[in-house]
């Protein structure tokens, strides 16, 4: 069975040519899938019934079956899906001001086992395909409560740079005028810091946003929180980020989860300021979501503000992220695992 969202417009044209169908049918089908959001060939009323039958037998529009949707008080909606091989994946729609951000999973499970994050706790299952990522994006756009989508972040389950080719294809597809036409500057990749992949990404000439999960300003602390740091230590990671910034002209955002007694002292803030000195970068502070990992807690509110102020003083641009969707377990690091436990 072909999955239509794996195909670019040109690839669908080629498939139709094999079936002796005219190329313009591909555009019609794309329009139904990506402009109208249909999940059923029966709705494609400008496509001849004979072609619809062929499609029905040979190609699927979406690989997702919805298991559950949960809507939080703040409008955040978490959607849990089952894939044909029975993997479970999640995507989240996050409305704020005049934007709606879709948080997309790039893998079923995760290999990287960061201690503060749920996603790795059940291990790694497999990479998601380009079509399975586009499915999530189209679902959030057409089937979620918000029924709108202006921004995308690859911050759901999985490590996008560990599934490089599929993620890049999904981004290029989502960005294309033939499909959803989401501006590259409205698409963010979030990575735990896979240095060779970052170097490759710098060469792609894409205008996307890059977020790097930093979470510590020294190797001992970072390796304890994020085992990937043993492979790609801070010095190499920061150098790769500086190179990325130079090559693309795009500002890099560093995500920094504040964890009480671990990485949130004033000395930590100053250390962080030092490693980012002279770098066109921004730090996004995220108070740790408690309840994900036993024993790890966010600092007191006042300590968070002290940390932020110390960082600002060292010349770094800082934002403080508000956690969304906590009442439905849709917040950072909370995806997926809970359901597997409760099933």
Annotated catalytic sites, by residue?
90, 332
Give the whole-angstrom CA distance, residue 267 versus residue 62. Answer: 50
Q: Where are the beta strands (DSSP E) in 86-140?
A: 88-96, 99-103, 107-109, 124-127
> 322 burial class (0-12, 13-18, 19+ CB within 10 angstroms)?
exposed
Of residues 178 and 199, the one with the C-beta less far from ligand SAH? 199
**Minimal distance in Å, beta carbon 326 to ligand SAH?**
10
Distance from the Cα of residue 136 to its chain's centroid? 11
**Minimal distance in Å, beta carbon 156 to ligand SAH?**
7
**Minimal distance in Å, beta carbon 192 to ligand SAH?**
4
Of residues 206 and 212, the one with the C-beta less far from ligand SAH? 212
**Minimal distance in Å, beta carbon 255 to ligand SAH?**
4
Q: Is the dihedral of CA 17, 20, 24, 25 positive or negative?
A: negative
Give the whole-angstrom CA distance, residue 123 versus residue 109. Answer: 6
Give start and end residues of each alpha helix (H) in the chain. Answer: 9-18, 24-31, 49-58, 130-143, 164-175, 195-202, 219-225, 228-231, 234-248, 266-275, 301-313, 337-342
User: Cα-flanking dihedrals φ and ψ of residue 213, to 5°?
Assistant: -75, 105
Q: Which parts of this chain interact with ligand SAH (CB under 6 A)? A: 116-117, 155, 159, 190-192, 213, 255, 257, 286, 288-289, 292, 332-333
**Minimal distance in Å, beta carbon 180 to ligand SAH?**
21
In this chain, which residue has its C-beta nearest to ligand SAH? 333
Of residues 44 and 259, the one with the C-beta less far from ligand SAH? 259
Tokens of 333: 């690091």
Of residues 197 and 310, the one with the C-beta less far from ligand SAH? 197
Of residues 180 and 189, the one with the C-beta less far from ligand SAH? 189
């Amino acid at each position: 069975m072909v999955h239509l969202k794996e195909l670019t417009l040109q690839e669908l044209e080629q498939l139709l040519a094999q079936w002796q169908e005219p190329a313009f049918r591909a555009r019609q089908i794309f329009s139904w899938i990506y402009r109208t959001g249909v999940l059923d060939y029966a709705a494609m009323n400008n496509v001849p019934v004979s072609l619809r039958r062929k499609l029905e037998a040979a190609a699927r529009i979406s690989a997702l079956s919805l298991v559950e949707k949960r809507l939080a008080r703040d409008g955040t909606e978490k959607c849990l899906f089952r894939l044909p091989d029975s993997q479970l994946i999640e995507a989240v729609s996050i409305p704020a001001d005049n934007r709606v951000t879709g948080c997309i999973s790039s893998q079923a499970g995760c290999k990287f086992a960061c201690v503060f994050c749920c996603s790795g706790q059940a291990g790694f299952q497999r990479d998601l395909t380009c079509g399975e990522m586009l499915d999530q994006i189209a679902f959030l756009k057409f089937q979620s409560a918000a029924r709108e989508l202006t921004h995308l972040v690859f911050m759901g389950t999985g490590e996008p740079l560990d599934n490089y080719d599929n993620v890049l294809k999904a981004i290029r597809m989502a960005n294309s005028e033939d499909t959803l036409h989401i501006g590259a500057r409205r698409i963010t990749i979030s990575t735990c810091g896979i240095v060779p992949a970052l170097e490759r990404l710098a060469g792609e000439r894409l205008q996307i946003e890059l977020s790097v999960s930093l979470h510590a300003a020294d190797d001992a602390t970072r390796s304890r929180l994020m085992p990937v740091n043993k492979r790609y230590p801070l010095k190499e990671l920061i150098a790769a980020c500086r190179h990325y910034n130079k090559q693309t002209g795009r500002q890099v955002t560093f995500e920094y989860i504040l964890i009480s007694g671990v990485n949130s002292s004033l000395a930590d803030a100053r250390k962080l300021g030092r490693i980012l000195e002279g770098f066109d970068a921004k730090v996004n502070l995220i108070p740790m979501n408690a309840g994900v990992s036993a024993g790890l807690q966010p600092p007191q509110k006042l300590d968070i503000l002290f940390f932020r102020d110390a960082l600002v003083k060292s010349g770094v641009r800082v934002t403080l992220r508000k956690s969304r969707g906590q009442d439905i377990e849709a917040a950072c690091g909370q995806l997926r695992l809970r359901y597997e436990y409760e099933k």
